[in-house]
Structure 1
């Protein structure tokens, strides 16, 4: 059967109908993420991001449910108190954005969604709030870079994790000026269009340069891909996956198919996905002496031994991001000396 956006939404509606009959304590369910875009699938795979709002506190926060080897539900559980007061979410780049950037309402009780969204949207797109959301990412990137650049993180997996978090936060600071932030599979793939949306298309080249070394990785695809996949598969079927369910076995193809596709279209994007997941797995297993992971990190030149080589690049990227935010603010009538930047 051919999988389309329409067929997946219909399947999701059936799932929601069953869910609301099983649990009378649900206030709202809405669809967000890639399924709200025109092309949600990458190489035949996607996840369906649902936000389920409960009346009462729920212990479970995130849930992965397999639909097929290629498709899964990624469900965020929140209770209604999280959204009180709604105006607090005007500066929340994740949940606030999920409510304001064209979510698809699947169920609500007592007009909860309409009321909450209306209260939030009133000032969500004000330039001041847009900048505040953007600065959250930039300030976090600066904080993490200050720590990393001090040389205090010498464990390879921890270094790579933090380095990637810096790139992710800095890049999403730009993305937030025009849309909701990007997640793992979409960050590198969609960053160029988000940078172009604020007339900063050159930023994408700077970002991609931070994910590659001097050597062309193309000839080594099989070696790196198979080594990484082995650990991803093993981790996904192990109890340790409960510490990071993003890499559950039910989502193996979600990552591997994306890497296969990105390697042909945008190698930095493929390297990003491999590095992000592999470094996390190595970190949790405490396998920093692993020769395959070390070989990969050395090849892309990301690790403690490459700190000095990357220092100028990262400093420059963070400066460019900050300049981009200031320029965007000026176009909205906000002076760079405004207290909003303090």
Structure 2
């Protein structure tokens, strides 16, 4: 099947219409994410990011539904209360960008129109941009503080928290000139975001904190079958992160393979390590020796974890110093931002 943007939009509309007809709690639905871009495919695969807004608290916040081996729906179910008050969403780095310019697919009671209009006013003002950036940075710092209590013998939980801190730190930078970065493309797109603020060293530093200077693309390719085994096994267990789903296996695997064969092969490290660590968190220890090996190769676990946290500390300090200079340049006080 030839996958085109037009096909993906049609599938989004058809699935939304069917769901809205059968679920009267849906107030609005919109399309966000990669399908709104000119080229939504990576490795010939993509997901269709839908958001359904309900008039009550949804039973399940996220839903994955396969449409084909290479396409799946990734549906977020939100309560209308998540958008109240709409003006405050200007300072929300995730929901704010999501609501700013999606494709509206369904609406009742003018819910979407009112919320979006309230959000857009002042969204791109420097003060609101800095508020969103600081929110991401402060979340990363909180994770770092929590990890200080677990610096020896880190397991999958500690490593995934470390990666979460890195993701928030990277997005604190990316926020200064656009929306948060998609997980598959994080290391592909981050260098341009860092370059846009004339701080390319942030890109080098991020790769270093992931252990990218310790490994080669060939090793990642060699370990891909072991990654596949862990992902497949973990996806069949209960209480696993919703990102680890069999419908998303090709979505990640083909993207990793495509990046490994591209101009920036080490950019595959982010989706590779993040999803493998999420998978390992659902397994018992004797089931993830290959994951432990990749952490050892990257010098990100075991005896190296404490030094990685020290590096993260410095990275966050550097971001904070940059943001402080921006505050001063605009004449803002920190108390106005956080």
The two structures have a TM-score, normalised by structure 1, of 0.91
Distance 1:56 1:141, change over 3 A: closer
Corresponding position: 1:334 with 2:331: yes
**C-alpha distance in 1 between matches for 2:331 and 2:5:** 40
Shift of 1:104: 0.8
**C-alpha distance in 2 between matches for 1:157 and 1:309:** 17
**C-alpha distance in 1 between matches for 2:309 and 2:91:** 31
**C-alpha distance in 2 between matches for 1:2 and 1:309:** 47
Distance 1:54 1:214, change over 3 A: closer
Structure 2 residue aligned with 1:293: 291
Structure 2 residue aligned with 1:316: 314
1:159-238 superposed matches below 5 A: 159-212=158-211, 214-236=213-235, 238=236
Q: Retained in 1: the 8 A contact 2:152–2:303?
A: no
Q: Retained in 2: the 8 A contact 1:159–1:303?
A: no
Shift of 1:322: 1.6
Structure 1 residue aligned with 2:88: 88
Shift of 1:58: 1.8
- Identify the match of residue 257 of structure 1 among 232, 235, 254: 254
Structure 1 residue aligned with 2:240: 243
Q: Retained in 1: the 8 A contact 2:234–2:240?
A: no
Structure 2 residue aligned with 1:27: 27
1:34-183 superposed matches below 5 A: 34-100=34-100, 102-149=101-148, 151-152=150-151, 154-183=153-182
Shift of 1:256: 0.5
Q: Retained in 1: the 8 A contact 2:221–2:260?
A: no
**C-alpha distance in 2 between matches for 1:111 and 1:213:** 48
**C-alpha distance in 2 between matches for 1:155 and 1:301:** 12
**C-alpha distance in 1 between matches for 2:159 and 2:294:** 11
Shift of 1:73: 0.6
Q: Retained in 1: the 8 A contact 2:144–2:165?
A: yes
SS where residue 234 of structure 1 aligns?
A: helix
Shift of 1:149: 4.2
**C-alpha distance in 2 between matches for 1:105 and 1:218:** 40
Could you report, residue by residue, the CA deviation over 1:193-236 in whole angstroms, capped at 9, with x for unpaired residues?
22233232332111112222554423323431111111101222
Could you report, residue by residue, the CA deviation over 1:309-329 in whole angstroms, capped at 9, with x for unpaired residues?
435532332122223323444
Structure 2 residue aligned with 1:15: 15
Structure 1 residue aligned with 2:271: 273
Q: Retained in 2: the 8 A contact 1:200–1:324?
A: no
Any unmatched runs of 5+ in structure 2? Answer: none
**C-alpha distance in 2 between matches for 1:81 and 1:289:** 41
Q: Retained in 2: the 8 A contact 1:174–1:194?
A: yes
SS where residue 191 of structure 2 aligns?
A: helix
Q: Retained in 2: the 8 A contact 1:91–1:132?
A: yes
Any unmatched runs of 5+ in structure 1? Answer: none
SS where residue 243 of structure 1 aligns?
A: coil
Shift of 1:153: 5.2
Shift of 1:305: 0.9
- Equivalent residue pairs, number: 337
Distance 1:72 1:91, change over 3 A: same
**C-alpha distance in 2 between matches for 1:224 and 1:82:** 41
Q: Retained in 2: the 8 A contact 1:155–1:288?
A: no
Shift of 1:34: 1.4
Q: Retained in 2: the 8 A contact 1:56–1:79?
A: yes
Q: Retained in 2: the 8 A contact 1:282–1:288?
A: no
Shift of 1:127: 2.0
